[in-house]
Amino acid sequence: MQLKAIFKRCLRPVVFLMYSLVLLVLIPLLVLQGIKDGVKKSSAAYTIAGIFVLMAVPISVWEIVMHTLHYTKPKLQKYIIRILWMVPIYAMNAFLGLVYPDVSIYLDSLRECYEAYVIY
């Protein structure tokens, strides 16, 4: 078997394992260590939210890029791409709403407009 084929076959399980380890082990350890060291709970919330945004957005963007590169059924894929863009928009909306609560109403309005566009 060629090295490239082995790499393609093993890539997805390795990435899944790494994400699982980060979710189940690393994040709780970082949060507990931060609380022990006297970090505010709001700072821990920002950190956790940021980690999840940094995990969700690349996956979604990768899917969007793959659909764009393999654009074989435009009538169907344009709707799929619109739906996939909801993940980064919702993630950034939630994170920025947590960090800057005063502007969350404006961010929510923009998110709602995009949601209406996706449904249309």
Where are the chain's structural domains? 1-39, 56-120
Q: What is the pTM of this model?
A: 0.69
Q: How far apart are CA 97 and CA 113, in angstroms?
A: 16
Q: How far apart are CA 107 and CA 24, in angstroms?
A: 30
The DSSP code for 105 is: H
Per-residue confidence in pLDDT tens, the chain, 120 aa: 687 677 667 766 877 787 777 777 877 777 777 777 777 777 778 888 888 888 888 889 888 888 888 889 999 999 999 999 999 999 999 999 998 999 999 999 999 999 999 998
